[in-house]
């Protein structure tokens, strides 16, 4: 019998996770604070918002055998992913790491709990991926890269060797980051950007070569 899993979040990332995890877990339901979220997806019920979760987690069958969980919230919300992960974990549920069967993860790479690695993504030798990161479809994380907690790498994005991506930073679809570049905490690398130089924390960079479009507060 497959182990039970609940998912926080019910939008696009959730649907991808359902496909990724369907052979490994029995997905009992999903929670989301959005009142407009679908009431079910492929037979999986929406179980309610945070208040509903707090009631659900106190049920005897849940406290007796806490299920696994993962937080499914997409790019731009790394800090929220991390916060919800810790809050849910405090209620005794067991975090998982989700790696698609077609992804390649080197045997000496490290991947933190709550991280999600999607179809045909690559995580190469001695890479260090923190907690609650997203490595999306066909993204490539090359040798000795570091992704701090909450970082996300978009579909088809490429990190060359020894790139360092700071906490909660986002590298969007198709971007390329050249070797040894550091992306600061909370920074945003726009879709298709080619990053040749370090990016300051909370900066938004776009273009080829990438330039600072604006600076956000931390």
Phi, psi of 174 (to 5 degrees): 75, 5
Whether the predicted pLDDT of 83 surpasses 80: yes
Rounded to two decimals, what is the model's pTM? 0.95
Confirm if 159 and 180 have CB atoms less than 8 A apart: no
- Homologous superfamily assigned to 98-208: Hexapeptide repeat proteins (2.160.10.10)
Active-site positions read: 143
What is the C-alpha to C-alpha distance for residues 8 and 139, in angstroms, rounded to an integer?
23
Q: Give the neighbor-by-neighbor strand order of the sheet with 40-41.
A: 40-41, 44-48, 26-31, 4-8, 68-71, 94-95
On the question of a common fold for 4-95 and 98-208, the answer reads: no
Q: Domain 4-95 classified CATH 3.90.1150.10?
A: no
Confirm if 108 and 125 have CB atoms less than 8 A apart: yes
- Per-residue model confidence as pLDDT tens digits over 110-161: 999 999 999 999 999 999 999 999 999 999 999 999 999 999 999 999 999 9
Domain segments of the chain: what residues?
4-95, 98-208
Q: For the chain, what is the radius of gyration of the CA atoms?
A: 18
Q: Is 147 helix (H, G, I), strand (E, B) or coil?
A: strand
- Per-residue model confidence as pLDDT tens digits over 18-46: 999 988 999 999 999 998 999 999 999 99
């Amino acid at each position: 019998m497959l182990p039970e899993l609940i998912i926080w979040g019910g939008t696009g990332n959730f649907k991808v996770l359902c496909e990724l995890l369907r052979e490994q877990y029995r997905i009992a339901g999903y929670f989301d604070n959005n009142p407009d979220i679908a009431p079910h997806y492929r037979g999986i019920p929406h179980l309610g918002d945070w208040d509903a979760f707090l009631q659900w987690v106190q049920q005897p069958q849940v406290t007796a055998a806490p299920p696994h969980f993962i937080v499914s919230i997409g790019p731009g919300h790394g800090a929220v992913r991390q916060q919800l992960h810790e809050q849910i974990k405090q209620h005794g549920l067991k975090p998982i790491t989700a790696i698609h069967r077609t992804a390649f993860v080197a045997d000496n790479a490290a991947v933190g709990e709550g991280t999600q690695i999607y179809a045909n993504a690559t995580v190469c030798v001695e890479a260090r991926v923190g907690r609650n990161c997203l490595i999306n479809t066909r993204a490539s994380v090359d040798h000795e890269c570091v992704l701090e907690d909450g970082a996300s790498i978009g579909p088809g994005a490429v990190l060359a060797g020894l790139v360092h991506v700071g906490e909660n930073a986002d590298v969007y679809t198709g971007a390329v980051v050249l070797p040894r570049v550091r992306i600061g905490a909370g920074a945003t690398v726009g879709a298709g950007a080619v990053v040749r130089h370090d990016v300051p924390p909370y900066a938004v960079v776009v273009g080829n070569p990438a330039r600072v479009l604006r600076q956000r507060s931390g």
